Amino acid sequence: MYICATMSNSKLYKGSLNTIILKLLNENDKMYGYEITQKVKELTKGELKITEGALYPALHKLEAQGLLDVEVAKVDNRLRKYYKLTENGTKETANKLEELAEYIKTMQALVNPKLA
């Protein structure tokens, strides 16, 4: 499962994991894996939790696609790997957000025609 939601709506969030990661990195310059999971939990007040088993595969895939770059720093007594957006990653974030907005608009038109 990609994402755990407190209610039985996790399927609705599936497919948005990459967009969530890219959006967070767009706002935070650089982040490490654990920080991403905590940030999502904090922003959604615990409603949405990115599972560890899904986060790293997604990060590695985005890195392989050339959308993310990595930086490593020694923090406390261990090494920490930070992810940040590449130039292509920034462009892709804009595309993904646009796609998501379009999706939300379409869904709005379907479930709540008055607001659309």
Partner 1 sequence: MKLTESQIQDLYAFTRKHFVEHYDLQTELVDHLANDIETMWKTDTNLTFEEARDKAFKKFGIFGFMEAIEQKQKAMNKRYMRYFWNELKLWFRVPQIITTLGLFCVYYLSFSSLYTEFLSVGYYIIIAIWSIFKSVQLNRQFRRRKEKSDKKWMLEEMIYKQAGGTTLVFMSQVYNVFLISDRFSGNFTAILFFSIIFTLLTLINYISFQLIPNKAEALLNETYPEFSL
Residues that bind partner 1 (CB under 8 A): 1, 32-35, 38, 51-54, 56-58, 60-61, 63-64, 70-72, 74-81
Give CA angle at 5 (58, 62), nearest 5°.
Answer: 10
Toward partner 1, which CB reaches closer, 11 or 60? 60
| Local structure of residue 16 (DSSP, 8 states) | -
Toward partner 1, which CB reaches closer, 35 or 47? 35
Toward partner 1, which CB reaches closer, 60 or 105? 60
Cβ contact 23:68 at 8 Å: no
* Tokens (6 digits) for 114: 């008055």
Q: How far is the CB of 115 from partner 1 (least distance, A)?
A: 38
